[in-house]
Chains A and B, each alone.
Chain A
Amino acid sequence: MNEASRGRCTVPWRNLFAILVVALIAAGCGGPYAQSAMQPASEIAQRLQDLFETIFWWAVAVFVIVQGALVVTVLKFRAGRRQDAVHSPKHVHGNTLVELAWTLAPAVVLVIIAVPTISTIWEVDLPTTDPDALVIEVVGHQWWWEFRYPELDIVTANEFHIPQGRMIDLRLTSADVIHSFWIPRLAGKRDVVPGRENILWFAADSVGIFIGQCAEFCGLSHALMKLEVVVDAPAEFASWARRQGRPAESLDEGDPLAALAAEGKDVMMRAGCIACHRIDGTPAQGVLGPDLSHVGSRRTIAAGILENTPENVERWLRNPGAVKPGALMPDLQLTEEDVRSLTAYLSSLK
Chain B
Amino acid sequence: MSHSIYEGGLRSWITTVDHKRIGVMYFVAAGVFFFIGGVEALLIRLQLGSPESTLISSDLYSQLFTMHGTTMVFLVVMPLGSAFFNFLIPLQIGARDVAFPRLNAFSFWIFLFAGLFLNSSFLFGGAPDAGWFGYANLTSTQYSAGIRIDFWVLGLSLLGVSSIASALNFIVTIINLRAPGMRLMRMPPFTWMTLITSFLMILAFPTITIGLVMLLFDRNFGTNFFNPAAGGDVLLWQHLFWIFGHPEVYILILPAFGVISEVIPTFSRKTLYGYPFIIYSGILIAFLGFGVWAHHMFAVGLGPIANSVFSAATMLIAIPTGVKIFNWIATMWGGRLRLDTPLYFAIGFITLFIIGGLSGVMHSSPPTDLQQTDTYFVVAHFHYVLFGGTVFALFAGLYYWIPKVTGRLLHEGLGKLHFWMMFISFNVTFFPMHYLGMHGMPRRTFTYLPGLGFDLMNLVSTAGSLVLGASMLVFVWNLMRSLRRGPPAGRNPWGAATLEWTLTSPPPHYNFRTIPEVRARDPLWREDGVELGPEDSTVPEPVMPSPSAWPIMLALGPVIAATGTLVSSLPMALAGLAVLVASIYGWAFQPLER
A residues neighboring B (CB under 8 Å): 13, 17, 20, 24, 27-28, 31-38, 47-49, 51-52, 55-56, 59, 62-63, 66-67, 69-70, 73-74, 76-79, 83, 87-94, 98-99, 102-103, 106-107, 110, 113-114, 117-118, 120-122, 124-126, 142, 176-178, 180, 182, 184, 187-191, 193-196, 198-199, 212-224, 226, 305, 325-326
Q: 0/1 per residue, B324-343, Cβ < 8 Å to A? A: 01110110111111110000
The docked-state distance in angstroms from the alpha carbon of A183 to that of B233 is 26
A89–B449 contact, CB under 8 A? no
B235–A193 contact, CB under 8 A? yes
A110–B315 contact, CB under 8 A? yes
A222–B234 contact, CB under 8 A? no
A220–B137 contact, CB under 8 A? no
* Option from A188, A218, A305 in Cβ contact (under 8 Å) with B449: A305
Q: Which residues of B contact A193 (CB under 8 A)?
A: 234-235, 300-301
Q: Which residues of A contact B374 (CB under 8 A)?
A: 180, 182, 189, 215-216
Q: 0/1 per residue, B347-383, Cβ < 8 Å to A? A: 1001100110011011011111111111100000000
B448 CB within 8 Å of chain A: yes
Given the known interface contacts A33-B453, A77-B268, A223-B445, the answer about A102 and B308 at a Cβ–Cβ threshold of 8 Å is: no
B124 CB within 8 Å of chain A: no
B228 CB within 8 Å of chain A: yes
The docked-state distance in angstroms from the alpha carbon of A93 to that of B86 is 29
A188–B299 contact, CB under 8 A? yes
A35–B336 contact, CB under 8 A? no
Given the known interface contacts A59-B358, A122-B304, A194-B137, the answer about A93 and B271 at a Cβ–Cβ threshold of 8 Å is: yes
Q: 0/1 per residue, B432-468, Cβ < 8 Å to A? A: 1011001111111111110111001100100000000
B228–A194 contact, CB under 8 A? yes
Q: Which residues of A contact B325 (CB under 8 A)?
A: 66
Q: Which residues of B contact A220 (CB under 8 A)?
A: 58-59, 62
**Can you name 8 A-B pairs with beta carbons within 8 Å?**
A27-B431, A77-B334, A89-B268, A93-B274, A94-B276, A118-B311, A190-B301, A326-B58
User: Whole-angstrom distance from the CB of A194 to the nearest CB of chain B?
Assistant: 5
User: Whole-angstrom distance from the CB of B133 to the nearest CB of chain A?
Assistant: 9
* Option from A114, A189, A325 in Cβ contact (under 8 Å) with B312: A114
* Option from B316, B361, B440 in Cβ contact (under 8 Å) with A37: B440
Other A-B pairs beyond A94-B275, A99-B326, 9, CB < 8 Å:
A24-B432, A27-B432, A31-B453, A33-B452, A70-B350, A74-B347, A89-B334, A184-B439, A195-B232
B581 CB within 8 Å of chain A: no
A191–B350 contact, CB under 8 A? no
Q: Which residues of B contact A32 (CB under 8 A)?
A: 453
Question: Top 5 nearest A-B pairs by Cβ distance?
Answer: A188-B370, A195-B228, A35-B440, A28-B435, A223-B445
A106–B273 contact, CB under 8 A? no
Q: 0/1 per residue, B495-507, Cβ < 8 Å to A? A: 0000000000000
Which residue on chain A has the smallest CB distance to residue B343? A74
Q: Which residues of A contact B359 (CB under 8 A)?
A: 59
User: Whole-angstrom distance from the CB of B219 to the nearest CB of chain A?
Assistant: 15
Which residues of B from 51 to 91 have beta carbons under 8 Å from A? Answer: 57-59, 62
A79–B337 contact, CB under 8 A? yes
Segment among B15-23, B402-410, B420-428 that sits at the interface with chain A: B420-428
Given the known interface contacts A110-B361, A177-B143, A325-B57, the answer about A196 and B235 at a Cβ–Cβ threshold of 8 Å is: yes
B32 CB within 8 Å of chain A: no
Q: 0/1 per residue, B131-164, Cβ < 8 Å to A? A: 1000101100001000000000000000000000
The docked-state distance in angstroms from the alpha carbon of A193 to that of B58 is 23
Given the known interface contacts A67-B354, A191-B299, A193-B300, the answer about A103 and B319 at a Cβ–Cβ threshold of 8 Å is: yes
The docked-state distance in angstroms from the alpha carbon of A211 to that of B445 is 16
Interface size on B, residues (CB 8 A): 102
- How many residue pairs link A and B with beta carbons under 8 A? The number is 293
Q: Which residues of B contact A305 (CB under 8 A)?
A: 449
Q: Which residues of A contact B62 (CB under 8 A)?
A: 219-220
* Option from A28, A120, A122, A195 in Cβ contact (under 8 Å) with B434: A28
B319–A110 contact, CB under 8 A? yes
Q: Which residues of A contact B452 (CB under 8 A)?
A: 33-35
The docked-state distance in angstroms from the alpha carbon of A58 to that of B350 is 18
A55–B370 contact, CB under 8 A? no
Which residue on chain A has the smallest CB distance to residue B274? A94
A188–B304 contact, CB under 8 A? no
Q: Which residues of A contact B326 (CB under 8 A)?
A: 66, 99, 102
User: Whole-angstrom distance from the CB of B140 to the nearest CB of chain A?
Assistant: 8
B585 CB within 8 Å of chain A: no
Which residue on chain B has the smallest CB distance to residue A195? B228
A103–B304 contact, CB under 8 A? no
The docked-state distance in angstroms from the alpha carbon of A51 to that of B372 is 12
The docked-state distance in angstroms from the alpha carbon of A88 to that of B588 is 52
Given the known interface contacts A24-B428, A223-B447, the answer about A121 and B367 at a Cβ–Cβ threshold of 8 Å is: yes
B548 CB within 8 Å of chain A: no
Which residues of B from 278 to 320 have beta carbons under 8 Å from A? Answer: 299-301, 303-304, 307-308, 311-312, 315-316, 318-319
A125–B304 contact, CB under 8 A? yes
The docked-state distance in angstroms from the alpha carbon of A59 to that of B361 is 8
* Option from B271, B355, B362, B453 in Cβ contact (under 8 Å) with A52: B362
B508 CB within 8 Å of chain A: no
* Option from B308, B311, B322, B442 in Cβ contact (under 8 Å) with A215: B442
* Option from A79, A121, A216 in Cβ contact (under 8 Å) with B307: A121
Question: Which of B275, B339, B359 has the largest count of A CB atoms less than 10 A from its CB?
Answer: B339
Question: Which of B333, B372, B375 has the largest count of A CB atoms less than 10 A from its CB?
Answer: B333
B477 CB within 8 Å of chain A: no
A66–B354 contact, CB under 8 A? yes
B368–A106 contact, CB under 8 A? no
The docked-state distance in angstroms from the alpha carbon of A77 to that of B431 is 29
The docked-state distance in angstroms from the alpha carbon of A92 to that of B189 is 16
Q: Which residues of A contact B59 (CB under 8 A)?
A: 220, 325-326
A114–B58 contact, CB under 8 A? no
Q: Which residues of B contact A87 (CB under 8 A)?
A: 336
B301–A34 contact, CB under 8 A? no
B6 CB within 8 Å of chain A: no
B165 CB within 8 Å of chain A: no
User: Whole-angstrom distance from the CB of B241 to the nearest CB of chain A?
Assistant: 13
The docked-state distance in angstroms from the alpha carbon of A78 to that of B337 is 4
* Option from A35, A125, A177, A223 in Cβ contact (under 8 Å) with B58: A223
Q: Which residues of B contact A13 (CB under 8 A)?
A: 420
B130 CB within 8 Å of chain A: yes
B217 CB within 8 Å of chain A: no
B271–A92 contact, CB under 8 A? yes
The docked-state distance in angstroms from the alpha carbon of A74 to that of B276 is 24
Given the known interface contacts A28-B432, A93-B273, the answer about A126 and B354 at a Cβ–Cβ threshold of 8 Å is: no
Which residue on chain B has the smallest CB distance to residue A324? B58
B273–A223 contact, CB under 8 A? no
User: Whole-angstrom distance from the CB of B345 to the nearest CB of chain A?
Assistant: 13
Given the known interface contacts A28-B435, A89-B270, A220-B59, the answer about A126 and B304 at a Cβ–Cβ threshold of 8 Å is: yes
A121–B318 contact, CB under 8 A? no
User: Whole-angstrom distance from the CB of B592 to the nearest CB of chain A?
Assistant: 41
Q: Which residues of A contact B277 (CB under 8 A)?
A: 94, 99, 103
B323 CB within 8 Å of chain A: yes
A121–B58 contact, CB under 8 A? no
Question: Which of A87, A182, A218 has the largest count of B CB atoms less than 10 A from its CB?
Answer: A182
The docked-state distance in angstroms from the alpha carbon of A28 to that of B335 is 39
B300–A191 contact, CB under 8 A? yes
